[in-house]
Amino acid sequence: MKQLSIVENVAFNLIKQAVIYLPEDVKEALRKAYAEETSETGKTQLKAILENIVLAEKHEAPVCQDTGTVTFYVKAGSQVKNLDGVEAALVMATRKATREIPLRPNAVDPFTQKNSGDNTGRFVPYLHWEIVQGDSLELIVMLKGGGSENVSAIGMLVPSEGVKGLKRFVIDAVIKAGAQPCPPTILGVAVGGGADVAMKLAKKALLRPLGEANADRRLAELEREILEAANMTGIGPMGLGGKITVLRVHVDYAHRHPASFPVAVAFNCWAARRASARLSADGKVEYLTHKIEW
């Protein structure tokens, strides 16, 4: 990548897009939830959420006061130049976004309790790297609030519990989470790997566009079953009762150790903020989820 300043500029735009404008697929799922919700209270909550989304866009203000912690997923072509400068560019973009949008400062040293004030710090923003073929760079930003992050769940199940145990674990996590992750939520579920791999895959599964079917038919069926069960809990929008507790379930998996059966559940609140763009070697930028530029 010739100009790291382009990377910084694009990353800034992505943060701004994500924090103000929910992706179209998320808005569509929320509209559908409003149409399908049968509880009066649940409907009122969804109406307030939809109005909130419109107001955020109108005033170009963050859709939620908790602007979350910033995570980047970087898909880098093996021929991209200056990859060693990408992290610094993303950190600069995060600082600028914190100042100018602004974002709530959400990076705290766990020992001193000192807030860095600019959403950067040790492993913040966190970068997930993936090396692919080619010479383009794809950036995805995810901003995730504390409410949904705090109910993440990891269980080291006994292999004999199998998929039945997995379903029970996920539904227990949804019930335990209750109102805390601001439902209706999106669930990222992953099984296998070690505890770290399962959680990484569960969180990454939240990036899949809502409505995009799982290519693996077994997983698609599992997603449908978990969604149905989660929406029988009655937790409802914002935890105030209703039929729509979860918008979508996305499942992924890794092969596991014979003695291990890790299951991870990552929650995203209704304010499921993500944005992505692709940068070509010639400096061309294509925004993938949002079409707004500043």
269 lines the binding site for ligand SF4 (CB under 6 A): yes
The answer to whether the CB of 212 falls within 8 A of the CB of 289 is no
Select the span of 108-116, 139-147, 196-204, 248-256 touching ligand SF4 (CB under 6 A): 139-147
Asked if 206 interacts with ligand SF4 (CB under 6 A), we say no
- CB nearer ligand SF4, residue 10 or residue 182: 182
Note whether 145 binds ligand SF4 by CB under 6 A.
Answer: yes
Rg of the chain, C-alpha, whole Å: 19
Concatenated DSSP letters of 48-115: HHHHHHHHHHHHT--SSS---EEEEEEEEETT-TTGGGHHHHHHHHHHHHHHHTTPPP--B-TTT--B
What is the closest distance, in whole angstroms, from the C-beta atom of residue 70 to ligand SF4 in the complex? 13
Q: Which is nearer to ligand SF4, 147 or 262 (CB)?
A: 147
23 binds ligand SF4 (CB under 6 A): no
Question: How many CB atoms are located within 10 Å of the residue 214 CB?
Answer: 18
Cα distance between residue 11 and residue 93, in whole Å: 6
**Closest approach of ligand SF4 to the CB of residue 144, in Å:** 7
Is residue 236 within the footprint of ligand SF4 (CB under 6 A)? no
Of 80 and 103, the one with the shorter C-beta distance to ligand SF4 is 103
Contact between 271 and ligand SF4 per CB under 6 A: yes
Tell me which stretch binds ligand SF4 (CB under 6 A): 75-83, 102-110, 141-149, 161-169. 141-149
Distances (CA, A) of 65 to 21, 53, 61, 153: 14, 12, 9, 24
**Residue 155 φ/ψ, nearest 5 degrees:** -130, 130
Q: How far is the CB of 102 from ligand SF4 (least distance, A)?
A: 16
Question: What are the backbone dihedrals phi and psi of residue 141, each rounded to the nearest 5 degrees, phi first?
Answer: -110, 140
Nearer to ligand SF4, 145 or 188 (CB): 145
Cβ distance to ligand SF4 smaller for residue 121 or 237: 237
In whole angstroms, how close is the CB of 222 to ligand SF4 at the nearest point? 25
Hey, which residues does 25 pair with through a beta bridge?
none
SS3 20: helix
| Closest separation in Å from C-beta 61 to ligand SF4 | 13
Q: Is 155 or 181 the residue whose CB approaches ligand SF4 more closely?
A: 181
Residue 176 CA, distance from chain mean position: 20
> Which of 89/182 has CB closer to ligand SF4?
182
Element (H, E) at 287: strand 285-287
Site for ligand SF4 contains 53 (CB under 6 A): no
Give the contacts of 228 (CB within 8 A, at least 6 positions apart): none
Tell me which DSSP letter residue 250 carries. E
Q: Is residue 181 at the binding interface for ligand SF4, with CB under 6 A as the rule?
A: yes
The reply on whether position 147 binds ligand SF4 by CB under 6 A is: yes
Q: Which residue is nearest to ligand SF4 (CB)?
A: 145
Binding site for ligand SF4 (CB under 6 A): 64, 66, 68, 145-148, 181-182, 269-271
